[in-house]
Amino acid sequence: MPSYEQILRSHTIVLPDGPIDGWIGINDGVIAALGYGDPNDADADQLDDLSDYVVLPGVIDTHVHIRYPGHPEREDFVTGSAAAAAGGVTTILEMPISVPPTWNVDLFEKRVDMAQGRTHVDIGFYAAGGYQAIPHIGQLAEAGAVGYKIFLHRPQKGREHEFEGLWAVETGHIVQVFEAIAKTGLKACVHAEDDELLHYAQERLEQQHRTDPLAHVEGHPLLAETLSVQRAIMIAKHTGARLSICHLSSGTGADLVRRAKADGVPVTAETCPHYLTRVDTDMNAYGAYAKINPPLRSQFEQDLLWAAIQDGTVDFIGSDHAPYTREEKERGRESIWAAPAGCPGLETTLPLLLNGVTAGRLAWTDLARLTASKAADEFGLASKGRIALGRDADFAVVEMTDTTIKAPTMQTKSRETALIYDGQPVAGRVAKTYVRGTLVYDDGHVIGDARHGKVLRSRRHQ
């Protein structure tokens, strides 16, 4: 009789080809066996009965901002990873925007060291890939960066120190950046908004003395995204860089990605739950708490974006977890321009997407692809992303029961700014989270200390 350290039993285990009624055998934190029905012919030191739950592959969140060490009041690795665990996220891919940004190997390694022994879940790190970082791009790949983040517009005034080495605006500079990244084989992940058009739109609104919430939407027009997406696609086609469009906010932008894929361009697209569940006019109700870059779009664009998810144009969904303090967001009451852009999302992504499952917009396999398997494939996380033999035993266990999102109970330090979803009805909740076979979250409680998570490095790491 085969023996395992641990067996999980559930009536709904979401495998790549579809859900099964069966069991998972785990040894040394790795999936060692999969079976149908009850594990009558197997023995285990520990049997976890999850019969009433759905077992999904652990979420790989492709877009997370922790902010530490520059802004520990917003988040740190312990609280951010606790929020991840509460949201069924077993792997965080953390963006390089901090003080300082990780635009060279020394800064990258210091950031990795800060995370060691301080995370409940596994974590990988992007490196900055702007024009200033070009001499370091190859070395950052060898150091283990999972990809590169590039802003295609200048940083806003007052935040230049957070964006050092992160941006490229001139077309020639972007070409050079993409050429350097193409040599690494890693992904060039871009924030796609046209710098010149942003400057023009915001200057015009300032001349009109517009400080209301919707001025933020108009200051980041849809055309700014589509122009920038198309330019990035053309440069990727020219250079051979593996492009990813971060936090795509519109169906119109998704159509450009769809056409590029058909043309053979190596491009993927990420979107976020807020673009699928909130629209531009929600700015009137939530003000600065709904201020996000790129901004919320119209219902028409949201419908097109859902269509792009359903036809496979959109590859993965990341939270764009962007923590700030309530005091920072409250500055937007006087003028929307005074508040920072972003909202927390690590704990809400999976519950919100469960609404898409019950509405018939997503099958369980779609959800697993969008939140785990495609990201694992694209970012070279060979041990992650699927419930399959030899993969890490990373699971998000959800209970399908009507409930509501409650911001005050969140693990993130930024819970007071999670107002756009506070009280939101959802079709299910994250009940348990396993990282490499270890239970790190159980029915509202983070389990254990923040030493279980490990740092993941890309395949280029020596």
Q: Which tens digits make up the pLDDT trace of 134-164?
A: 999 999 999 999 999 999 999 887 777 878 9
Distance CA 394, CA 61 (A): 13
Whether residue 291 is contained in a domain is answered as yes
CB 408 within 8 A of CB 415: yes
Distant-in-sequence, close-in-space partners of 340: CB < 8 Å, separation ≥ 6: 291, 324, 328, 329
CA 371, CA 353: separation in Å to the nearest integer? 10
Cβ pair 3, 44 in contact under 8 A? yes
Question: Is residue 444 pLDDT above 50, yes or no?
Answer: yes
Q: Is the pLDDT of residue 41 over 90?
A: no
Residue 100 CA to its chain's centroid (Å): 21
Backbone angles phi, psi at 455, to 5 degrees: -85, 130
- Whole-number mean pLDDT of the chain? 96
pLDDT in tens, 98-143: 888 999 999 999 999 999 999 999 999 999 999 999 999 999 999 9
Cα dihedral value 387, 389, 393, 395, nearest 10: 10
Same domain, yes or no: 310 and 244: yes
Structural contact between residues 281 and 326, judged by C-beta atoms closer than 8 angstroms: no
Mark whether 225 and 339 lie in a shared domain. yes
* Residue 324 to residue 73: CA distance in whole angstroms: 8
My answer on whether 51 and 63 are in the same domain is no
φ/ψ (deg, to 5) at 157: -60, 135
Residues near 394 by beta carbon (within 8 Å), at least 6 away in sequence: 57, 58, 90, 91, 122, 384, 434, 435, 436
pLDDT in tens, 217-261: 999 999 999 999 999 999 999 999 999 999 999 999 999 999 999
Neighbours of 228 (CB within 10 A): 24
Do residues 7 and 36 share a domain? yes
The answer to whether residue 235 sits within a structural domain is: yes
| Burial readout 116-144 (b: 16 or more C-beta within 10 A, e: otherwise) | eebbbbbbbbbbbbbbbbbebbebbbebb
Question: Residue 197, exposed/middle/buried by CB under 10 A (0-12, 13-18, 19+)?
Answer: middle
pLDDT of residue 459: 75
Same domain, residue pair 113 and 151: yes
Count the neighbouring beta carbons within 10 Å of the beta carbon of residue 281.
14
Task: Note whether 153 and 243 are same-domain residues.
Answer: yes
272 plus 415 within the same structural domain: no
For the chain, give the percent of residues with pLDDT over 70.
Answer: 99
Q: Does a structural domain hold residue 66? A: yes
* Antiparallel, parallel or unpaired: β 242-245 and 445-446: unpaired
What is the CATH classification number for the domain harbouring 38? 2.30.40.10
H or E stretch at 89: strand 89-94
Who's near 454: CB < 8 A, 6+ residues apart?
Answer: 119, 122, 123
Query: Are residues 200 and 93 part of one domain?
Result: yes
Mark whether 366 and 423 lie in a shared domain: no
Domain end call among 350, 378, 406: 378
Residue 449 CA to residue 418 CA, distance in Å, equals 25
Mean pLDDT of 58-64: 98
Model confidence at 462, pLDDT cuts 50, 70, 90, reads very low
434 within a domain of the structure (yes/no): yes
Closest by Cα among 44, 28, 4 to 383: 28
401 secondary structure, DSSP code: -
- Chain-centre distance for alpha carbon 268: 14
For residues 371 and 424, state if they share a domain: no
pLDDT digits (tens, 9 = 90+) for 79-92: 999 999 999 999 99
> Beta-carbon neighbour count of residue 303 at 10 Å?
11
Report yes or no: 439 and 433 within 8 Å, Cβ to Cβ.
yes
Whether 266 is covered by a domain: the verdict is yes
Check which CATH number belongs to the domain holding 347 and give it. Answer: 3.20.20.140
pLDDT digits (tens, 9 = 90+) for 168-212: 999 999 999 999 999 999 999 999 999 999 999 999 999 999 999
Helix (H, G, I), strand (E, B) or coil at 405: coil
d(CA 353, CA 427): 9
Segments in 210-264 forming alpha helices (H): 213-218, 222-239, 251-262
What φ, ψ does residue 254 adopt, rounded to 5°? -65, -35
Output the six-digit token pair for 196: 């010149």
Any domain includes 461:
no
- For residue 390, which amino acid is it? G
Residue 59 Cα distances to 62, 90, 274, angstroms: 9, 6, 17
Residue 190's domain comprises 59-378
What is the pLDDT averaged over residues 71-77?
95
Query: Of 116, 123, 121, 125, which is closest to residue 395 (Cα–Cα)?
Result: 121
| Domains held by the chain: number | 2
- 151 and 118 within one domain: yes
Domain end marker among 342, 357, 378: 378
Of 351, 378, 405, the one marking the end of a domain is 378
**460 part of a folded domain:** no
Q: Are residues 151 and 250 in the same domain?
A: yes
Confidence of residue 39 (pLDDT cuts 50, 70, 90): very high
Q: Is residue 462 part of a domain?
A: no
Residue from 223, 434, 410 nearest 319 by CA: 410
DSSP 261-320: HHTT--EEEEE-HHHHH--GGGHHHHGGGG--SSPP--HHHHHHHHHHHHTT-S-EE---
